[in-house]
Amino acid sequence: MFPQGTGPSPATSPGGPHRPIRSFQTRRSRITSGQAQALRRLWPRWGVDIDGSPLDPDALFEGRPVVLEIGFGMGETTARMAAADPGTGILAVDVHTPGQGHLLHLAERDGLTNIRIANGDAHILLRDMLPERCLDGVRIFFPDPWPKTRHQKRRLVQPGFLTLLAPRMKPGALLHCATDWEPYAEHMLDVLDAHPDFTNTRPEGGYAPRPAFRPVTRFERQGIAKGHTVRDLLFHRTA
């Protein structure tokens, strides 16, 4: 069976539970036979359905520190970072079925036992399933920029989302965002600077250089080819 979680269900807006706003859009693309086979074989072992049921990250990753990655595309960067840091568990969330299948394939091929893949809405995972102070880090790499003005309320990094996220992070945990869309980078920086639960890792403020531990992603290469400037933002969860 393919993942049976909430799938592309709407995120709940900061305004309340009765105003659903989607912070992602469903991407429809053909799933290959290899991706489908990986999902059928490996989902029972490494898949997590976002269904609102409480989740125990410590049990899921056998006591490893846990990093939440929201949106992983086809999973190449996730797999590379998992291979470079096998002592850290990566809970990778996305709704893109081909990407889920591809990341499962990469994990099996490379012998990566520190990846779990969650299918569905990260808001539900954070709000209903994860306990407080369970995350050692959060990664949001190249999220949908929603460039049209009327859609910008759908951007993931918003004050309400940070307020939901912060209690699930341990004090000192790292929130790492990256984007090649300059207006979204400016928005992220403004929102993070203004939020009382996060502190810029750079004493002088502003963007951070790309850290060596973040590989250059496929989206990054595409953005650079278009002349975009890639921005990294690294903020700690305050105590």
Q: What is the pLDDT of residues 148-203, one digit of tens each?
A: 988 889 999 999 999 999 999 999 999 999 999 999 999 999 999 999 999 999 99
Beta bridge partners of 90: 67, 115
Q: Tell me the C-alpha distance between 153 and 19, whole Å.
A: 12
Domains and CATH numbers, the chain: 33-237 (3.40.50.150)
Average pLDDT for residues 204-228, to the nearest whole number?
A: 92
Residue 13 binned pLDDT confidence (cut-offs 50, 70, 90): very low
Average pLDDT for residues 60-69, to the nearest whole number?
A: 98
Q: By C-alpha distance, which of 27, 133, 137 is closest to 81?
A: 137
Q: By C-alpha distance, which of 102, 96, 88 is closest to 37?
A: 102
Which position has the higher pLDDT, 181 or 219? Answer: 181
Characterize 139-150 residue by residue with b for buried, 16 or more Cβ atoms within 10 angstroms of its Cβ, and e for exposed: bbbbbbbbeeee
The predicted structure's pLDDT at residue 27: 54
pLDDT surpasses 50 at 9? no
Strands of the sheet containing 89-94, edge to edge, are 47-49, 115-119, 89-94, 66-70, 135-141, 169-179, 231-237, 198-200
User: pTM for the complete prediction?
Assistant: 0.88
**136, 144, 180, 197: the active-site residue:** 144
On whether the CB atoms of residues 217 and 141 are closer than 8 A, the answer is yes
pLDDT surpasses 80 at 207? yes
Characterize 62-94 residue by residue with b for buried, 16 or more Cβ atoms within 10 angstroms of its Cβ, and e for exposed: eebbbbbbbbbbbbbbbbbbbeeeeebbbbbbb
Q: Which amino acid is at 16?
A: G
Q: In the annotation, is 180 catalytic? A: no
pLDDT surpasses 50 at 17? no
Tens of pLDDT, residues 104-144: 999 999 999 999 999 999 999 999 999 999 999 999 999 99
Cβ neighbour number for residue 36 with a 10 Å cutoff: 14
Q: Tell me the C-alpha distance between 122 and 143, whole Å.
A: 13
Q: By C-alpha distance, which of 95, 117, 89 is closest to 105?
A: 117
Q: By C-alpha distance, which of 52, 46, 40 is closest to 6?
A: 52
**Main-chain dihedrals φ then ψ at residue 54, nearest 5 degrees:** -55, 140
Average pLDDT over the chain, rounded to an integer = 90
Percent share of the chain, pLDDT over 90: 81
| Number of residues in the chain | 239
On whether the CB atoms of residues 131 and 106 are closer than 8 A, the answer is no
Which position has the higher pLDDT, 18 or 33? Answer: 33
